[in-house]
Chains A and B, each alone.
Chain A
Amino acid sequence: MILIHCPYCDQTLPELEFAYAGEGHIARPTDPSALSDEDWERYLFIRDNPRGRHHERWRHIHGCGRFFNAVRDTVTDKFEMTYKAGEPRQ
């Protein structure tokens, strides 16, 4: 069971307290109506799925309830870091 550091609680806690929430840093466009179908499709459905460093979102759902960002290696399953929502991509 992975240990995950919640950047809000500043505690490293078991994976069971957390929920995965998809790829990180995919901001909702401020004016979706201005987007072409292709751009909207890209926002909705197209994800990176890299082998290696992956930016992703987690929620401390059975703790403080906050969403935050993480960098996890998809090969080793190691968390490189976690940081608060809104902070720049690491």
Chain B
Amino acid sequence: MSAHRIAGLGRIDRSRTVTFTFDGKAMQGCPGDTLASALLANSVVLMGRSFKYHRPRGLLGAGAEEPNALVSVDRGGGRFTPNLRATAVEIYEGLNVRSQNRWPSLKTDFGAINDRFGRFFPAGFYNKTFMWPRSFWDKLYEPTIRRMAGLGDAPIEADPDVYAATYAHCDVLIVGAGPAGIDAALEACAARKQVILIDEQDELGGGALADPALWPWLESSLNDLAAAPNVTLLSRTTAFGFYHDNFIGAGQRLTDHLAEPGHGPRERLWRIRAGEVILAQGAIERPLVFAGNDVPGVMLASAARTYLVRFGVAVGDRVVLMAVHDSGWRDAFVLARAGMKIAAIVDLRAQVAPDLMAEAAELGVPVEMNSAVIGVSGRHAVTGAEIADSAGGNRHKIVCDAVLMAGGWTPSVHLWSHSKGSLAWSEEWGAYLADKPNENVRCVGACAGKWNYGTGVSIGALPTPDDPATIKAFVDFQNDVTAKDIALAVREGMKSVEHIKRYTTNGMATDQGKTSNLNALQLASGALDRPVQAIGLTTFRPPYTPQTFGMLAGDAKGALFQPTRKTAIDPWAEEHGAVFELVAQWRRARYFPQGGEDMHAAVARECLTVRSGVGIFDASTLGKIEVVGPDAAEFLNRMYTNPWKALEPGRCRYGLLLREDGFITDDGVSARLAPDRFHLTTTTGGAARVLNMMEDYLQTEWPDLDVWLTSTTEQYAVIALQGPKAREVIAPLVSGIDLSSESFPHMAVREGTICGVPTRLFRVSFTGELGFEINVPAAFGRYVWEQVWAAGQAHGITPYGTETMHVLRAEKGYIIVGQDTDGTVTPYDAALDWAVGKKKADFVGKRSLARPDIVAPGRKQLVGLLTDDPAEVLEEGAQIVADPRQPIPMKMIGHVTSSYWSATLGRSVALALVQGGHERMGETLHVPMPGKTIAAKVSGMVFHDPDGSRLNG
């Protein structure tokens, strides 16, 4: 028997037992136990396998710092959480825990072969070894490494839990409910401040929980705080990040400790804005670096004390303490007074305070000064320790089943560092302490270096007479980084602590170096022969401990991940069998299949119907901006490439918008309704960007202009009616507008009514056919749509979607900004010279059109492409080459931007950006594809009705 429960000690509820399973084996614990304490009480010391070498590992600590004992909890039904620290898992009836990183079992793990070949796995091993041959990477190296490496398994089922989030504001936020945090809370409470006190553990008290003398004070203090109306106490809550302006993110675990997860949220994300933040995060004891310091049963002295005092568990029957700090002695005395056998106190120092020596003598504990543990025997559990004096002499072995390490203390300055507070090296602590704050924050208690733990020395690794190259003395337990890895990294040229961290992986993964950073620094300092302060410290970043994605995501998942915008006509499209696609968060009908049509057949039919009869299309997603004011025309004249001032009310114009660098950013047809009023349209995806850009110029460059911009995208439903029969369909429905071609020509706008509803009726076309865009108030959108639909029945009307719209516009060579342009295309590149006002003195982007690179030859220009085989439809995005016989890698001279099957033309059509494209008319280019090369001729962009006679019908 080694670790076991001791009668009469601890804060657990011994009147009840809780049954849980570990790797399928049922065990008992008590309410108040963590998984760690309950396993120890069942004499289980082997709890996990290490990351790289798959070495057997047990508990190092008793709190958030635990790097070794990582487990998975499976509650069934998708509730699976990997990489939980056994020290932070509360047991409940039916808890089902699995160990990790082992196969087939914890005791027999094939991966442990890595440990025997460990000298072949030095720091930087992956970077060095798996480089060649290149072809082995995908099929052999990566899959093998992925299977071997990593921590626990990722969940494979959807998480059924819900997560809540809340905001909170307070005068004082205190992180950590140990003695210092509670004192700070009492003080702030008495000053009548609004106080939030949070602690990551299930029970408030921190270090006081391992000190029975403080229990009466703890109970009365917590009662006072709980009764105070101005204090909020949050347990099981981890302050994981400190952000700007005293904004703290904290995760509260609500159901993980319950036998039944229930129906409420599993966790709650707290977003707390505090007037002042007080960090009382305490300090973490530092392990010592010596051979075998990772054998299960080697742990922090303070952890052994916590297991005994708080949980009533002895970590062993015969315990050796290896100390360089007084605090370990005091922990050992507590153990001894509870009846545990202390086989020896080994201290590297030549002498310690007389009172410690006297108390050891009184308790009959043998003391070995000026000595160090140089080895630990046992593989799955400690069976003994080997000790030598600091000169390497007097080697001898002691039988024991636990080795405690007291390497001094590291104040937890993680959140302080998140807040960008500076740190200063403290020789006394051998650690960095908070120095100058960057927010209204202060550290108190051990976290501030203000706690009398006694004294000690700081040391990178314990002295050993053995060859350091042959021993494994671990610095970072979670990442399997040894002292010699740090030395190797320095030998190989890593001088900065940031490089050493990345080369060795020291301080990475879930524990973020809580126990390893300072030892690694000391070792690097020694190897580099520079003081620790000169080497720096890696930056702590959130989260302090791992947090669930579920909590951080909250409600922002599934249907609530992002809004789906729907038009007024969307329900009609759904009822009529539309297949939808998402465009800039809008759900748009892509095509309307009938009688089992596939997309190809449906689009071909829709296209032919529009060209020969009439089609109806929901264009409501078009961005719309109402531009109003005496200077409206002047403003648009400055924004767009084309002239606007002479545009008469009642007329429309195609507007081309550049960025100041000369590249096309948006386009759209806009109408002048009155001398001081324009109805602008933008691309569906560009609406918000264009409005922002216009506001920017209006507010900051031309504040003298009297113009107002209003987004009206959602105010109007837009029904596009296109095709030679469009006029006949709406004629009976429209009042107050003469629809004849003479009085209402192409690119005109009229106001009147349709079906009794006020309308802005545009005669415009994105198809090349006679067409109208009927703008009506969105609330009447579906009503008018249905009336037009009914009126169109006699004319064979079809609804069509975005795919058909794309084919129809491509047949006419109308570009889609963002598809046929990519942010590097000028009006000249896009053959839109005609839309640039040559006589205008200035507009946004004009000066850039004369930049040397813009006027240089060889720019990529938009052209048409006609495949030699008319049945061949090019792939959008396919690369284009001039000579397909050139050696690989070929020189790519452009790519296909739009490509469709044109039912109207009985062949494929495509648009492409090609270097010097406008000079290549009639030239045959080539599109290499897997297994074939497609030849295509460069052409103009207008494939259908080049003289536009159908538009003006």
Contact = CB atoms under 8 A, between A and B. Distances in A.
B847 A33 contact: yes
A67 B699 contact: yes
Given A59-B692, A65-B695, A44 B660 contact: yes
A27 B660 CA distance: 12
A1 B701 contact: no
A90 interface: no
B120 to A, nearest CB: 44
Contacts of B695: 59, 65, 67
Contact of A40 (B438, B842, B847): B847
A66 B841 contact: no
Contacts of A19: 692
Contact of B847 (A1, A32, A66, A77): A32
B700 interface: yes
Interface in A1-17: 1-3, 15
Given A1-B247, A2-B244, A3-B244, A67 B696 contact: yes
A1 B272 CA distance: 10
Contact of A37 (B271, B696, B852): B852
Given A1-B244, A1-B245, A59-B692, A33 B842 contact: yes
A72 B515 CA distance: 36
Interface in B838-891: 841-842, 846-848, 851-852
Contacts of B75: none
A27 to B, nearest CB: 7
Contacts of B247: 1
Given A27-B701, A85-B703, A3 B245 contact: yes
B580 interface: no
A32 B243 CA distance: 43
A12 B271 CA distance: 17
A19 B691 CA distance: 14
Nearest to A33: B847
A86 B703 contact: yes
Given A1-B247, A33-B842, A21 B847 contact: no
Contact of A76 (B438, B661, B697): B438
Interface in B672-728: 692, 695-697, 699-701, 703
B700 A35 contact: no
Nearest to B709: A65
A28 B701 contact: yes
Interface string A54-69: 0001010100011100
Nearest to A12: B245
A79 to B, nearest CB: 9
B420 interface: yes
Contacts of A21: 696
Contact of B846 (A3, A32, A41, A65): A32
A31 interface: yes
Interface residues on A, range: 20 to 34
Given A37-B851, A44-B848, A85 B700 contact: yes
A61 to B, nearest CB: 7
Given A28-B701, A40-B847, A61-B692, A77 B842 contact: no
Nearest to A77: B244
B700 A44 contact: no
A1 B852 CA distance: 43
Contact of A57 (B420, B661, B700): B700
Contact of A32 (B438, B692, B842, B852): B842
A66 B696 contact: no
B745 to A, nearest CB: 35
The listed residue with most A CB atoms (<10 A of its CB), out of B699, B846, B851, is: B699
The listed residue with most B CB atoms (<10 A of its CB), out of A21, A40, A66, A86, is: A40
Contacts of A1: 243-245, 247, 271
A33 B244 contact: no
Nearest to B243: A1
Contact of B842 (A31, A44, A76): A31
Interface string B630-661: 00000000000000000000000000000011
Nearest to A22: B696
A18 to B, nearest CB: 13
Interface string B229-245: 00000000000000111
A61 B695 CA distance: 10
Contact of A44 (B245, B420, B661, B701): B661
A35 B850 CA distance: 11
The listed residue with most A CB atoms (<10 A of its CB), out of B842, B847, B851, is: B847
The listed residue with most A CB atoms (<10 A of its CB), out of B420, B700, B703, B846, is: B700
Given A21-B696, A28-B701, A40 B848 contact: yes
Contacts of A27: 701
A60 B247 CA distance: 20
Nearest to B695: A65
6 contacts: A1-B244, A1-B247, A3-B245, A37-B852, A67-B700, A85-B700
Q: Ordered nearest first, which 8 A-B pairs have the shortest CB separation?
A: A32-B847, A2-B244, A3-B245, A1-B247, A28-B701, A67-B699, A85-B700, A67-B700
Interface of A: 1-3, 15, 19, 21, 27-28, 31-33, 35, 37, 40-41, 44, 57, 59, 61, 65-67, 76-78, 85-86
Given A33-B846, A41-B851, A44-B661, 19 more contacts: A1-B243, A1-B245, A1-B247, A2-B245, A3-B244, A3-B245, A19-B692, A33-B841, A37-B851, A40-B847, A40-B848, A40-B851, A57-B700, A65-B695, A66-B699, A67-B695, A67-B700, A76-B420, A85-B699
